[in-house]
Protein backbone atom coordinates (compact mmCIF):
# COMPACT_ATOMS: atom_id res chain seq x y z
CA UNK A 1 0.00 0.00 0.00
CA UNK A 2 1.27 3.45 -0.94
CA UNK A 3 2.25 5.51 2.16
CA UNK A 4 0.62 8.59 0.63
CA UNK A 5 -2.69 6.74 0.30
CA UNK A 6 -2.47 5.68 3.94
CA UNK A 7 -1.76 9.28 4.93
CA UNK A 8 -4.65 10.61 2.84
CA UNK A 9 -7.10 8.21 4.48
CA UNK A 10 -5.74 9.09 7.96
CA UNK A 11 -6.19 12.85 7.48
CA UNK A 12 -9.41 12.66 5.47
CA UNK A 13 -11.88 15.21 6.75
CA UNK A 14 -9.40 17.03 9.00
CA UNK A 15 -8.91 19.99 6.61
CA UNK A 16 -5.26 20.55 7.58
CA UNK A 17 -3.87 22.76 4.84
CA UNK A 18 -0.84 24.95 5.51
CA UNK A 19 -2.95 28.08 6.18
CA UNK A 20 -4.82 26.55 9.16
CA UNK A 21 -4.00 28.13 12.53
CA UNK A 22 -3.55 25.40 15.12
CA UNK A 23 -4.51 25.78 18.78
CA UNK A 24 -4.14 23.57 21.81
CA UNK A 25 -7.34 21.70 22.62
CA UNK A 26 -6.20 21.09 26.20
CA UNK A 27 -5.03 23.60 28.80
CA UNK A 28 -1.23 24.09 28.67
CA UNK A 29 -0.82 22.89 32.26
CA UNK A 30 -2.32 19.51 31.26
CA UNK A 31 0.25 18.89 28.52
CA UNK A 32 2.58 17.26 31.04
CA UNK A 33 -0.07 14.55 31.64
CA UNK A 34 -0.37 13.64 27.95
CA UNK A 35 1.58 10.70 26.60
CA UNK A 36 3.47 11.87 23.55
CA UNK A 37 6.78 11.34 21.83
CA UNK A 38 9.59 13.88 22.17
CA UNK A 39 8.90 14.98 18.59
CA UNK A 40 5.21 15.52 19.40
CA UNK A 41 6.20 17.48 22.50
CA UNK A 42 8.47 19.73 20.43
CA UNK A 43 5.69 20.29 17.91
CA UNK A 44 3.20 21.05 20.70
CA UNK A 45 5.59 23.64 22.11
CA UNK A 46 5.29 25.56 18.83
CA UNK A 47 1.48 25.71 18.81
CA UNK A 48 0.35 29.04 20.21
CA UNK A 49 -2.82 29.93 18.32
CA UNK A 50 -0.97 32.39 16.09
CA UNK A 51 1.20 30.28 13.78
CA UNK A 52 -0.20 28.64 10.68
CA UNK A 53 0.40 24.93 10.14
CA UNK A 54 2.94 25.67 7.38
CA UNK A 55 4.89 27.94 9.77
CA UNK A 56 4.91 25.29 12.50
CA UNK A 57 6.01 22.53 10.14
CA UNK A 58 8.90 24.72 8.97
CA UNK A 59 10.14 24.96 12.59
CA UNK A 60 10.01 21.23 13.28
CA UNK A 61 12.82 18.97 12.06
CA UNK A 62 12.07 15.85 10.03
CA UNK A 63 10.45 14.94 6.76
CA UNK A 64 7.20 16.58 5.75
CA UNK A 65 5.08 13.42 5.65
CA UNK A 66 6.09 12.36 9.17
CA UNK A 67 5.36 15.84 10.53
CA UNK A 68 1.92 15.94 8.90
CA UNK A 69 1.05 12.49 10.25
CA UNK A 70 2.11 13.71 13.70
CA UNK A 71 -0.16 16.77 13.44
CA UNK A 72 -3.06 14.64 12.22
CA UNK A 73 -2.53 12.26 15.13
CA UNK A 74 -2.60 15.13 17.63
CA UNK A 75 -5.83 16.43 16.08
CA UNK A 76 -7.43 12.97 16.07
CA UNK A 77 -6.42 12.53 19.74
CA UNK A 78 -8.06 15.93 20.47
CA UNK A 79 -4.86 17.46 21.83
CA UNK A 80 -4.76 20.03 19.02
CA UNK A 81 -7.62 21.74 17.20
CA UNK A 82 -7.90 23.93 14.15
Which residues are registered as beta bridge partners of 81? 23
Q: How many CA atoms lie within 13 A of 40 on its CB side?
A: 17
Residue 82, pLDDT score: 84
Give residue 10's pLDDT: 66
First to last CA, the chain: 29
What per-residue confidence (pLDDT) applies to 14? 78
Predicted local distance difference test score (pLDDT) of residue 33: 92
> Contact at 8 Å (CB) between 53 and 71?
yes
Question: CA-CA distance, 57 to 66, in Å (whole number)?
Answer: 10
The predicted pLDDT at position 64 comes to 86
Q: Measure the CA angle with vertex 47, ends 41 and 48; round to 5°.
A: 135
Q: What is the pLDDT of residues 1-57, one digit of tens each?
A: 777 776 666 666 777 889 999 999 999 899 889 999 999 999 999 999 999 999 999
Amino acid sequence: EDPLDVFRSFVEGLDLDDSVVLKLAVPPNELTNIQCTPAEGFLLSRINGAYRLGDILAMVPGNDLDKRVMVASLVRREIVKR
